[in-house]
């Protein structure tokens, strides 16, 4: 096992780039077969990734089972994160932030992961039917019972973070954050800095689009991105033009577009940890190579200049998914 530069997420010291495991089992197509997924996870650990992120939602438990059978013989080598509240309800994706549901989902996750303790456990979304204080209280009790080590939130606002933090210190906020989704900069990124809460950036390369995904215009039926407005006409053509500009900068700098995305995020704040997902060992190694290079300030400024808040065309979520997030919007943001 090699070592990578590290950052802090709550009480944990983790590799400065972690691995989002969702697309090994959920949401994006095509998915790898079991052997390929296991090989990628083991490789990530071998090359120094020490932060693995899953959730009860992903594959309706299949992703947790994958990590459970693949990584737990090396449990002491990494920080394990999973999530509750957003998951399978009557065979469909739904929200249940009640303390009873959280307790049950946690027990199911522990079983699937083959562990008796999850290091970082997030409320995956805010359930508007349940006060955040009640949901956090359920996790406080789980922590007191030794079943989790720290509490996180996902896709929530600065105001919700402060309410939750008043109940118990929040170790991490996980939210979509990339060049084309900069909502975190409105308020919650600053709130995290003030409260000592780590910030975990998911989809840091724009759900693959900013990395130059050649299939962006022909996503197969069943790929969640096909329902997202930014991947649909007329928005897709405008967004691909943005990628052309990013790729031109990357070519001049002698790197890839994905590396520029990750370097920009790492340069924003010291408490930001990106967790790109991939099904490719080559792409994983490419992402991690970002950490081996010094990135000049003028290059980072040029990257940012390509992507003001208003640069992407289209809402980031379709209407139903947008209703399940509590994140701030920027002034003038298009919503589904």
Residues annotated catalytic, as ranges: 58
Block residue for tokens 């759900």: 207
Could you give the angle at the alpha carbon of 173 between the alpha carbons of 169 and 178, nearest 5°? 160
Q: Provide the 8-state DSSP code for 33.
A: P
Q: How far apart are CA 83 and CA 175, in angstroms?
A: 13
Adjacent-strand bridge partners of 123: 84, 153
Q: What's the gap between Cα 314 and its chain centre?
A: 21
Structure tokens at 22: 């969702």
Q: How many CB atoms lie within 10 A of CB 300?
A: 17
The long-range contacts involving 212-220, CB below 8 angstroms and separated by at least 24 positions, are 212/243, 212/247, 212/256, 212/257, 212/258, 216/240, 219/29, 220/29, 220/30
Q: Are 165 and 198 in contact (CB under 8 A)?
A: no
Nearest to 122 by CA among 157, 150, 93: 150
**3-class SS of residue 5:** coil
Q: How far apart are CA 234 and CA 220, in angstroms?
A: 18
């Amino acid at each position: 096992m090699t070592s990578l530069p590290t950052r802090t997420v709550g009480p944990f010291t983790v590799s400065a780039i972690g691995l989002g495991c969702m697309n090994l089992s959920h949401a994006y197509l095509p998915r790898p077969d079991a052997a390929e997924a296991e090989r990628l996870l083991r490789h990530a650990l071998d090359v120094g990734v020490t932060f693995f992120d899953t959730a009860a939602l992903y594959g309706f438990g299949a992703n947790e089972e994958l990590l459970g059978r693949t990584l737990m013989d090396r449990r002491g080598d990494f920080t394990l994160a999973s999530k509750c509240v957003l998951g399978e309800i009557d065979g469909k994706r739904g929200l249940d932030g009640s303390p009873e549901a959280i307790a049950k989902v946690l027990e199911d996750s522990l079983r699937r992961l083959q562990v008796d303790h999850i290091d970082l456990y997030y409320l995956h979304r805010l359930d508007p039917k349940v006060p955040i204080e009640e949901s956090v209280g359920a996790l406080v009790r789980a922590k007191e019972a030794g079943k989790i080590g720290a509490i996180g939130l996902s896709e929530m606002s600065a105001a919700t973070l402060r309410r939750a933090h008043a109940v118990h210190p929040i170790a991490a906020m996980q939210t979509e954050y990339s060049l084309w989704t900069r909502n975190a900069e409105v308020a919650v990124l600053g709130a995290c800095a003030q409260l000592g809460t780590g910030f975990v950036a998911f989809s840091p390369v724009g759900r693959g689009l900013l990395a130059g995904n050649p299939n962006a215009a022909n996503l197969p039926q069943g790929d969640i991105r096909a329902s997202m407005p930014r991947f649909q006409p007329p928005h897709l053509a405008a967004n691909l033009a943005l990628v052309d500009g990013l790729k031109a900068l990357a070519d001049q700098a002698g790197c890839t577009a994905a590396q520029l995305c990750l370097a920009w995020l790492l340069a924003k704040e010291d408490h930001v940890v990106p967790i790109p997902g991939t099904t490719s060992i080559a792409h994983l190694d490419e992402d991690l190579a970002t950490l081996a290079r010094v990135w000049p300030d003028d290059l980072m400024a040029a990257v940012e200049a390509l992507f003001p808040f208003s640069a992407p065309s289209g809402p980031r979520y379709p209407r139903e998914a947008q209703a399940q997030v509590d994140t701030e919007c920027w002034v003038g943001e298009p919503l589904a």
